[in-house]
Amino acid sequence: MTSLDSANGPSVTTTLPPAERTRAPKVASHVHGESGLDGPDLPAPTTEIVAPHAVDFLADTLRAAPTPITLIPTGPLTNIALLLAQHPDITDKIERIVLMGGAIAEGNITPAAEFNIWVDPEAAARVFASDVDTTMVGLDVTHRALFTSARAERLRAAGRVGKVVAELLDFYGVFHREVYGFDGSPIHDAVAVAYVIDPTLLETRHLNVQVDCASELCRGRTVVDLWRRTGLEPNAHVAVGIDSERFLDLLHERLARLG
């Protein structure tokens, strides 16, 4: 069994997943390569890993901040769930959580589940069940904003950073071309960051989101009550639309500026 619980939130307990899911990789090397950044010829990292655990670092940073902080998790929600469970007093220092993950009726690691939620659905359930203001930026929305090959070529000419990002997109684009037939790639995580910079980029709706932690076929699915069938109170702001061109222009402008 696996569980997460605290005095400040519900316990989430499920049986272990099927053996085939246990053996499945928890990194998307088929999308991003073995390094996670395949494409450009990057130098070996020289920065040492910091000593504190990520959860302790988050807790210390939040407590020391003069004003509440917005968290933008762009991977599995394990550390965020642990933060909420181990430090229940910290929630008033979190302004909101804007996460990239999930989807409305779409998956990319299974037919039903998006990768970030699928990796640790119990953690995601814990986050959505918390009292923290949460926004979900899902796969169905990020797939509508493709950084096309034409945009990548423009970026390639915009300096050293632009060239590196374009080379990342060369590798990343192969997956999306072969699997989806896209001319270009969605830059999923950047949509969540851009929304915090400019909230007018996304259209959101206040809806109830539950995470399937038990089903063999749909484990990791974010079940979004789009038409309010369950009668459950909304617990998340869910992205349902994006101004794709303005988002892509913002992303290009910020990356080119680094060059």
Query: Catalytic residue numbers?
Result: 188
Contact partners, residue 15, CB within 8 Å, separation at least 6: 1, 214
SS3 97: strand
E strands within the chain?
Answer: 2-6, 9-14, 69-71, 94-100, 134-137, 146-147, 185-186, 202-207, 209-211, 222-224, 236-242
Residue with tokens 């992205």: 239
Q: How far is the C-alpha of 116 from the C-alpha of 76, rounded, in Å?
A: 4
Q: How far is the C-alpha of 11 from the C-alpha of 92, rounded, in Å?
A: 20
| Neighbour count for residue 41 (Cβ, 10 Å) | 6
